[in-house]
Amino acid sequence: MKKTKTSIFAGCIVLLLVVISCGIPGKNGGADLTSVAATVAMELTERVATAGTQVPPGAATAAGDTPQPPATGTDTMVPTSTPTTTQTATSTPLPCNKATFQGDITIPDGTEITAGTSFIKTWRIKNEGSCTWNSSYQVIFADGEKMQAPDSVQLTPGSVAPGGTVDISIQLKAPASPGDYTGYFRLKAGDGTIFGVGASNASLSVVIKSVAAAITATFTLPPPPTPLLPDLYVSEFQINNGNPIDDDVNIHVRLGVYNKGTAAAGPFTVRFWGLETFANSSCGWDVGGLVKNGGYILECDMQYASTYADGLKAKVMVDTGSTVAELDETNNIFLYPLNFVP
């Protein structure tokens, strides 16, 4: 609205100047009119300047100025540059020995392990330092529950370059008493430098719960019952109170047969051989049976027809025909060493 009023006003002044220049007569003549017109034009210019009125497109701003191009209707803001402060980044050198924890490969924290059971804990760590880890680096026990860990183990048998990872394993044993246990381990460089993992230089940890072994009910089966069978054997033997006599002299034989089995024995035979090498027995008996834990004394007389060397043996056999089923069939034969008297 302000621009429109100013334009109309300027147009009126221009029209007045044209009339004066054409020589319209006035009260004081043409010269006075020209002076009046000039005064009005000057006042108009001052008003326009004081009001901040924009000059119409194509009009000169002052005598001798070049006309301005038409306005586009858009005010253009000229950006003002603001000085900026440039900061220079300063690089921090990596320490030689630095590690980060990558995870638990085995036995995560809180794992339940039967008391007294051995297990292997494995961590994965990354070399974040500037030095290569080699076989001189170790993992050492630091604090807490040792769990029968060694004082140190080799970190790696080879080498781990900066940026590389390695899995560290330690064999441990859960304490015998149930409960929660934690053990702490640290890293040790070849030059003796001890360090941990992460920004806080923390220790590697083992956190377990030792639990009592599950109680398994066991049942002991009773032994199988002993079969009810007899067991026959020679319980005693005598011949002439110790030694026989050579050359057709009668000798007296006395022996005992006993049943130590769990049942009575049926009928059986007993035979005696003066020498175990004889083809035929020297005496024999037929026994009608024998109760459990019972016995018989059997006796006979015989002669030796020749002279024999010492060290030979006489023989007695119970149940000669193997007619009785026994608990032990290996004790039916009895041998007796002989020393002959001339």
Enter the tokens of residue 12.
Answer: 């009126």
Q: Are residues 207 and 248 in the same domain?
A: no
Q: Is residue 291 situated within a structural domain? A: yes
pLDDT value at residue 52:
46
Number of domains in the chain: 3
Q: 18 CB contacts (<8 Å, ≥6 apart)?
A: none
Domain closes at, from 30, 51, 72: 51
* Domain annotation covers residue 323: yes
Tell me what pLDDT residue 157 has. 93
- Is residue 62's pLDDT more than 50? no
pLDDT at 92: 78
Residue 171 CB contacts under 8 Å (≥ 6 apart), including other chains = 118, 119, 120, 149, 150
* pLDDT computed for residue 26 by the predictor: 43
The 3 state secondary structure assigned to 59-99 is CCCCCCCCCCCCCCCCCCCCCCCCCCCCCCCCCCCCCCCCE
Structure tokens that stand for 321 in this block: 């025909």
Is 292 within the bounds of a domain? yes
**pLDDT at position 67 over 60:** no
Quick check: is 221 in a domain?
no
pLDDT in tens, 4-22: 555 555 555 555 554 444 4
Strands 204-211 and 111-114: parallel
Most confident of 1-5, 43-47, 186-190: 186-190
- Count of CA atoms in the C-beta half-sphere (13 A) of 195: 21
Residue 154 sits in a domain whose CATH number is 2.60.40.10
Q: Is 67:54 a contact under the CB 8 Å cutoff?
A: no
What's the average model confidence in pLDDT over 265-292? 94
Amino acid 307: pLDDT: 77
What is the tens place of the pLDDT at every residue in 134-144? 999 999 999 99
Residues 217-269 pLDDT 10s: 777 888 888 889 999 999 999 887 556 666 677 889 999 999 999 999 999 99
Q: Based on the fold, state whether residues 112 and 142 are members of the same structural domain.
A: yes
Distance CA 263, CA 231 (A): 8
On whether the pTM is more than 0.75, the answer is: no
Residue 85 domain-assigned? no
Higher pLDDT, 95 or 13: 95
Q: Give mean pLDDT, residues 146-152.
A: 96
Residue 310's domain comprises 232-337
